[in-house]
Amino acid sequence: MVDGVQVEGTFHAHQVPLSDPATHPEHLKMLEDWLRSNQPEELFDEQGRLKPELAELAPKGERRMGANPHANGGSLLRDLRMPDFRESAVDLPSPGCAASVTRMCSGVSCAM
């Protein structure tokens, strides 16, 4: 709860619910408690660096997200298989004279 508003388990948990901890001591305490709940002493050494045994868990080489050929946006390019958009065309004898609703049915475009 922050200022009487439920945070955990609500959309507020995906925002920054603490306003200006520098001028709100109760918010500063909440922030500190939350940060300490992550047990930083188990993650970082005395100089504040990530512990080597944890850094060792990070992927290496092409296993890294930015180096992975499936995620780097270039080395595995291929054409998309797209349906012919012309098959979904609606005849318009004049501007604004027809109404049409398009929806997706099992991955296939269907005109209603």
Q: Tens of pLDDT along 6-34?
A: 888 888 777 777 878 889 899 899 889 98
DSSP state of 105: E
Number of other residues whose CB lies within 10 A of the CB of residue 17: 19
Count of alpha carbons within 13 angstroms of residue 51, beta-carbon side: 10
As a whole number, the mean pLDDT across the chain is 81
**Residue closest to 15 by CA, chosen among 29, 26, 25, 5:** 5
The C-alpha atoms of residue 96 and residue 85 are separated, in whole angstroms, by: 20
Query: What's the pLDDT score for residue 8?
Result: 82
Q: What pairs with residue 109 in β-bridges?
A: 104
**Strand, coil or helix: what is 95?**
coil
More confidently predicted of 102 and 1: 1
Q: How confident is the model at residue 112 (pLDDT cuts 50, 70, 90)?
A: very low
Tell me, yes or no, if the pTM score tops 0.75: no
pLDDT at residue 4, rounded to an integer: 84
Long-range own/partner contacts, residues 91-96 (CB < 8 A, 24 or more apart): none
Note whether 112 and 102 are within 8 A (CB). yes
**pLDDT tier at 48, thresholds 50, 70, 90:** very high
> Strand pairing partners for 104?
109
Whole-number pLDDT of residue 53: 96
Q: Which amino acid is at 65?
A: M
